[in-house]
């Protein structure tokens, strides 16, 4: 009996198997795929907080203010005694105040500017190179929405005797939200020019005031869009000249870069913009977040001043415009935070990289778990993990971080703005120390 070979059957069986496998493969290939989404809800088990901060009220108390309206805080060593102080604007009294650190952790407050209608930003700068820090104050006229030309720019000149002399540099202009100083036109005598952000309402501007000496300034509009909130200054394109960035809100919701072309000339470029007209841009700072030697921008969106229905929006949060060189930037969303304001960077966990913080001005205050102070902890690769610092006090629109007590660990300073109900869990100036 001839021996029959199994080979043909094996070949045929293999063919059938291949066919079945291929069929299943096609089915799998065609199966519905869902791309992982950054909004995907993530549930993580409860864990120990990465950092903790404890609050301490400094400066004028809530009771004295009634309803504090702190619009801006800044950590700065105003008297240059080696002890950082806190400067802040308070709009219910139209004052700018100095919480001076007289000795380590001992604070005394004094009013340094009065009758400044709607003060919303104070910066300290030596405008004439005389070794004293003058105060540059942005006066909105009225903090709540208003389209009228009621803005002013004040400089309170630091005098040798420690007093401040008032100069009104711009009057009856679209509401001013930012003034800061820098040598933008190549002065050689220590003079500084001023950059003025004018939010206005329907009309606004970003303006350069060139210092002509003796507190005289020539004025030049860099951009005529309304809604300018902040104008950080830095060499963003790495050409050795100081440029200006501007966060422009209202219906625009854009970040602009005004490149310094030299000889007092600036170009105007849009770096980034949202087509969500309700995006709610609320604050921007410059910082080299990834410490690569190039100055980045961090900005928040959480504004709710313009709505009768004030409160959080799903898209509120903070973001990072990473400077990739020559004035080009990549956008990164850092995280969500309803009502986010005042992004700041500091090494909160002392691991050598920069973390981020923001406060909330317009959260869902009927929910006691609403976060009012949030940190995003950097893993060293610019991946940020959110960390709740506090849920009270509520309604904060300004914050700064810096090492006030000289221990190498940054403190956080926040300000409460209480112009809308609920008038509870209020604060004026709060100093947050790491535990």
Partner 1 sequence: MASPVSSNNISTGRMIAAATILAVVGGGGTYLLLRPTLPEQVRGAFPALPDFKSEPTILQGKLQQAYTKTATSGSVADLAAYGRLLHANGFAAEASQAWQVLLSVDPTEPRWSYYLAHLRRDSGDMGETTLWLQQTVEINPNYRPAWLQLGDMALKSARFERARNYYGECLRLLPGAPYARIGLARIEQQEGKRDSAQKALLELVEDHPSFPSAHNLLAQMYRESGDQSRANLHRWEGYRAGRFITMEDPWMRELEIQCFTPAKLFIIGMMDFQANRGDRGQSAYEKAVQCAPKDPGNHELLGDLYRKLKEPQLARRSLSQSISLSDAAGVAPSLLAFIHLAAVERELGEFQTSREVAERGRIAHPRSPEILVELGLTLTALGENEAAGVAFRDAIELSPHDTAAQFHLGEWWLRKDQTDQAIPHFEKSLVLQPTFAPALRYLLQYTLGTGQLDSAQDYADTLLGAYYGDSEVRQLVAICYLRLGRRGLERNAVSEAITHFQIAYDLDSDDVDIAFELGTLQLAQGEFKAATPPLEVLIANRPTDASAHLFLAQAYLMDGRPRAARALLEKGLTLAEQAGNAGTAGNIREMLEAITR
Total residues contacting partner 1 (rule CB under 8 A)?
81
Question: Could you tell me which residues are beta bridge partners of residue 355?
Answer: 346
Token match 């902040």: residue?
Answer: 230
Interface pick for partner 1 out of 130, 147, 218, 350 (rule CB under 8 A): 147
d(CA 320, CA 294) in angstroms, rounded, equals 13
Measure Cα distances from 90 to 14, 78, 95, 401 in Å: 82, 18, 5, 19
Rounded to a whole number of angstroms, the minimum distance from the CB of residue 20 to partner 1 is: 4
The sheet with strand 119-125 has its strands ordered as: 119-125, 134-139, 151-158, 164-173
- Nearer to partner 1 by Cβ, of 50 and 117: the residue is 117
Instruction: Decide if residue 141 touches partner 1 (CB under 8 A).
Output: yes
**Looking at residue 91, what DSSP letter applies?**
T
Q: Please list every residue from 185 through 204 that binds partner 1, using CB under 8 A.
A: 202-203
Measure Cα distances from 357 to 171, 277, 337, 384 in Å: 34, 25, 10, 11
- Nearer to partner 1 by Cβ, of 147 and 218: the residue is 147
Instruction: Decide if residue 20 touches partner 1 (CB under 8 A).
Output: yes
Is 425 exposed, middle or buried, given 0-12, 13-18 or 19+ CB atoms closer than 10 A? middle
Contact letters for partner 1, residues 232-261 (x by CB under 8 A): ------------------xx--x-------
Interface pick for partner 1 out of 57, 272, 382, 433 (rule CB under 8 A): 272
d(CA 157, CA 214) in angstroms, rounded, equals 11
Interface pick for partner 1 out of 56, 108, 277, 379 (rule CB under 8 A): 277
Q: Please list every residue from 158 through 187 that binds partner 1, using CB under 8 A.
A: 172
Q: Please list every residue from 380 through 409 that binds partner 1, using CB under 8 A.
A: none
The sheet with strand 106-113 has its strands ordered as: 70-76, 85-90, 95-103, 106-113
Rounded to a whole number of angstroms, the minimum distance from the CB of residue 158 to partner 1 is: 26
Contact letters for partner 1, residues 34-73 (x by CB under 8 A): xx-xxxxx------------------------xx------
Rounded to a whole number of angstroms, the minimum distance from the CB of residue 201 to partner 1 is: 9
Q: Please list every residue from 334 through 353 that binds partner 1, using CB under 8 A.
A: 336
Q: Please list every residue from 291 through 330 that binds partner 1, using CB under 8 A.
A: 301, 307-309, 311, 313-315, 317, 319
Instruction: Decide if residue 423 touches partner 1 (CB under 8 A).
Output: yes
3-state secondary structure of 12: helix
* Binding segment toward partner 1, per CB under 8 A, in 27-35, 54-62, 340-348, 381-389: 27-35
- Nearer to partner 1 by Cβ, of 141 and 283: the residue is 141
Contacting residues for 284 by C-beta, under 8 A, at least 6 apart: 229, 230, 232, 245, 247, 255, 297, 298, 299, 300, 343
* Peptide bond connecting 156 to the previous residue in cis, omega within 30 degrees of 0: no
Contact letters for partner 1, residues 95-114 (x by CB under 8 A): --------------------
Rounded to a whole number of angstroms, the minimum distance from the CB of residue 204 to partner 1 is: 8
Contacting residues for 11 by C-beta, under 8 A, at least 6 apart: none
| Helices and strands in the chain: count of H runs, count of E runs | 2, 31
Instruction: Decide if residue 225 touches partner 1 (CB under 8 A).
Output: yes
């Amino acid at each position: 009996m001839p021996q029959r070979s199994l080979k043909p059957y094996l070949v045929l069986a293999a063919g059938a198997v291949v066919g079945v496998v291929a069929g299943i493969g096609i089915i799998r290939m065609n199966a519905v795929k869902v791309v992982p989404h950054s909004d995907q809800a993530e549930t993580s088990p409860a864990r120990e907080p990465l950092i903790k901060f404890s609050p301490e009220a400094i400066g004028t108390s809530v009771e004295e203010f009634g309803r504090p309206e702190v619009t801006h805080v800044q950590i700065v060593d105003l008297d240059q005694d080696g002890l950082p102080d806190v400067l802040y604007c308070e709009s219910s009294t139209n004052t700018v105040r100095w919480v001076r650190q007289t000795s380590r952790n001992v604070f005394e407050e004094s009013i340094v500017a009065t009758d400044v209608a709607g003060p919303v930003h104070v910066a300290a700068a030596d405008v004439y190179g005389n070794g004293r820090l003058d105060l540059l104050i942005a006066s909105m006229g009225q903090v709540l929405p208003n389209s009228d030309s009621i803005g002013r720019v004040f400089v309170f000149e630091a005098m040798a005797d420690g007093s401040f002399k008032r100069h009104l540099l711009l009057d009856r202009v679209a509401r001013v939200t930012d003034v800061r100083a820098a040598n933008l036109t190549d002065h050689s005598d220590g003079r500084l020019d001023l950059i003025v952000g004018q939010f206005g309402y329907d009309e606004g501007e970003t303006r350069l005031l060139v210092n002509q000496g003796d507190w005289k300034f020539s004025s030049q509009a860099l951009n005529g869009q309304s809604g300018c909130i902040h104008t950080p200054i830095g060499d963003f394109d790495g050409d050795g000249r100081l440029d200006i960035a501007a966060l422009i809100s209202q219906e625009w919701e854009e970040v602009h870069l005004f490149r310094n072309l030299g000889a007092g000339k600036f170009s105007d470029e849009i770096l980034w913009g949202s087509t969500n007209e309700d995006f709610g841009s609320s604050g921007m700072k410059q910082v080299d977040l990834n410490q690569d030697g190039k100055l980045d921008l961090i900005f928040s969106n959480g504004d709710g001043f313009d709505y009768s229905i004030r409160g959080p929006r799903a898209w509120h949060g903070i973001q990072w415009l990473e400077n990739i060189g020559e004035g080009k930037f990549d956008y990164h969303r850092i995280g969500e935070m309803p009502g986010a304001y005042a992004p700041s960077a500091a090494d909160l966990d002392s691991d050598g990289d920069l973390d981020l913080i923001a406060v909330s001005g317009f959260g869902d205050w009927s929910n006691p778990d609403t976060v009012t102070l949030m940190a995003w902890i950097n893993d060293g690769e610019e991946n940020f993990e959110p960390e709740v610092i506090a849920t009270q006090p509520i309604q904060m629109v300004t914050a700064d971080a810096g090492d006030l007590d000289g221990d190498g660990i940054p403190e956080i300073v926040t300000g409460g703005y209480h112009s809308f109900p609920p008038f509870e869990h209020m604060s004026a100036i709060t100093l947050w120390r790491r535990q």
